[in-house]
Amino acid sequence: MSAATILVVEDEDIVATDIQEALESFGYTVCGRADNGLDAITLAKEHLPGLVLMDIKLAGKMDGIEAAAEIKASVNLPIVFLTAYADEKTFSRAKITDPYGYVLKPFKELELKMAVELALYKFGMEKAQETPESEGVAEQIELSPKAKEISSALKRIEPFAQGDQASLDALAGVARITEHKAAELVVLEGDDKVSGFVVLSGRVSLVKSSPNGKELIVELLPPGDPYGLLSSFDSGPFPVSIRAQIDSTLLWIPRDRVLDFLDRHPELGKKFIAEVFARLRDSHDFARALAHDRVEARIAHALVSTVPKFCSGADDEEAPMEIEMSRQEMAELVGTTPETVIRTMKSMEKDGLIDLSETGMVKVLAFDSLLDLSISE
């Protein structure tokens, strides 16, 4: 059975085409289309898709509810109804088939996507619970190439690295990957989003804005940093804006999937709590620095803190420590103006601490001296 294939049952060809295009844009494969109940049953038994998207009004004598009941009885596939019927009588009939979703037409693509993801995930978890661990649940779920790529990426990211393969594959089936150009605004502060995210490549900044439009970078996230997943603990609007500082690729995981994963792996939840408190300590230190430290010390602290995360030479003692960062980004990171940053960093360059000869790049020449400056009063 493939969690990446979907059978579309819809009697209007134009609508079926719209549905298929939407599903394919989500990364799924439509294994077949049917406009009547008998063909739907035949195709379901033939292809064994991961999910059946079922209209209720169909061509022929059999409607979608009857077809769904037969499919459930014969091959037990998850059914999501996509229909214009919202009356109580029809809904009551549909409920008897124990569907995994009920989406009303005209549908929004986001609603459809979430309904499909929820159905696939719920069905996958139910199958995982039914199968003994020794049988290897993950081997029974054939993932799409994209889902396999995501599952492999999750294995390299904390806290997912310690999860079992079946759980990772289930997450991969509902996760999505987005690509963003440098300086692109990915999420706006206050947006009603509930997905957690991890940077796969590149670098993003978490930005807070003041009423007068000034921005402050509160976090810089490198690849693999789990901090973006912490948003899953809060169902409210996004507390920060997310901006790609350089060309970046992000992996998004629905909030409820992250929480469910941690419920199943409570030991990893403890690591998340430790991560929260570590970030909280950093935030307290940063607040103190903004209030009391000189700009020179704040910039030195920012550089010292950034080297382990983003420096291309951090793992090679002989390689130059190069940080790709503009003066504007540094200003937003330390809470001052670009003009002050330029003046201060030029002075640090004269002292031999850094090299600014390449535009948009800071080369750290004297890490220990910067460290001393960062903690000076």
Residue found under tokens 């769904």 = 68
The pLDDT confidence band at residue 133, using thresholds 50, 70 and 90, is very low
Residue found under tokens 């294939």 = 5
Q: How many whole angstroms separate alpha carbon 264 and alpha carbon 112?
A: 27
Residue-by-residue DSSP string for 118-159: HHHHHHHHHHHHHS-GGG-GGGGSBPPHHHHHHHHHHTTSTT
Contacts of 138 (CB under 8 A, 6+ apart): 164, 165, 166, 168, 169
Q: Strand locations in the chain, DSSP E?
A: 2-9, 29-34, 49-54, 79-83, 101-104, 176-180, 185-187, 196-201, 204-209, 215-221, 241-244, 248-253, 321-324, 354-355, 361-364
The structural domains of the chain, ordered by start, are 2-130 (3.40.50.2300), 142-278 (2.60.120.10), 293-374 (1.10.10.10)
Name the token pair of 73: 């009885």
The pLDDT confidence band at residue 211, using thresholds 50, 70 and 90, is confident
Give mean pLDDT, residues 253-278: 75
Report whether the peptide linkage leading into residue 106 is cis, meaning its omega lies within 30 degrees of zero. Answer: yes
Lowest mean pLDDT among 35-39, 152-156, 247-251, 269-273: 269-273
Q: What share of the chain has pLDDT > 70, as a percent?
A: 86
The pLDDT confidence band at residue 300, using thresholds 50, 70 and 90, is confident
What one-letter code names the amino acid at 29?
Answer: T
The pLDDT confidence band at residue 81, using thresholds 50, 70 and 90, is very high
Contact criterion met (CB below 8 Å) for 173 and 238: no
User: Average model confidence (pLDDT) for the chain?
Assistant: 81
Report whether the peptide linkage leading into residue 159 is cis, meaning its omega lies within 30 degrees of zero. Answer: yes
**Other C-beta atoms within 10 Å of 234: how many?**
11
